[in-house]
Amino acid sequence: MKNTVVLTAEEKRRRLELSRKESEGLTLRDIHCPYCNFIITRVFSDAGGHYLAKCQKCKRQVVLNFAYFRRQKGIGKRKAGGSAQ
Ligand SMILES: [Zn+2]
């Protein structure tokens, strides 16, 4: 039995608009290739789960768990400052 959902153009438009509205207030972060440091993609701060990515530069394919790649710019400085832990 097929379990495919066919979206109408109107429904697609509605979901796109909903997605855009939900992303307001979220921040974007770059996901870098673990081999060559090239930016593979950009994800919103609420991104989770696993992502299959192919690096456009070194052509390697990697599986990334976003939870393990949450390093943000400047976080090292904040930690060094002794604010956390
Ligand atoms: Zn790469």
Instruction: State the pLDDT at residue 5.
Output: 80
Residue 14 lies inside a defined structural domain of this protein: no
Which of 26, 41, 27 minimizes the C-alpha distance to 74?
27
User: How far is the centre of ligand 1, averaged over its atoms, from the C-alpha of 34 (Å)?
Assistant: 7
Instruction: State the pLDDT at residue 74.
Output: 56
In the chain, how many domains are there? Answer: 1
Residue 6 lies inside a defined structural domain of this protein: no
Instruction: State the pLDDT at residue 85.
Output: 42
Residue 11 lies inside a defined structural domain of this protein: no
Residue 69 lies inside a defined structural domain of this protein: yes
Over residues 59-76, the pLDDT tens digits come to 999 999 988 876 655 555
Question: How many whole angstroms separate alpha carbon 84 and alpha carbon 74?
Answer: 13
Over residues 12-59, the pLDDT tens digits come to 999 999 999 999 999 999 999 999 999 999 999 898 899 999 999 999
User: How far is the centre of ligand 1, averaged over its atoms, from the C-alpha of 79 (Å)?
Assistant: 28
Residue 33 lies inside a defined structural domain of this protein: yes
Which residues form the domain of 57?
A: 27-75
User: How far is the centre of ligand 1, averaged over its atoms, from the C-alpha of 76 (Å)?
Assistant: 23
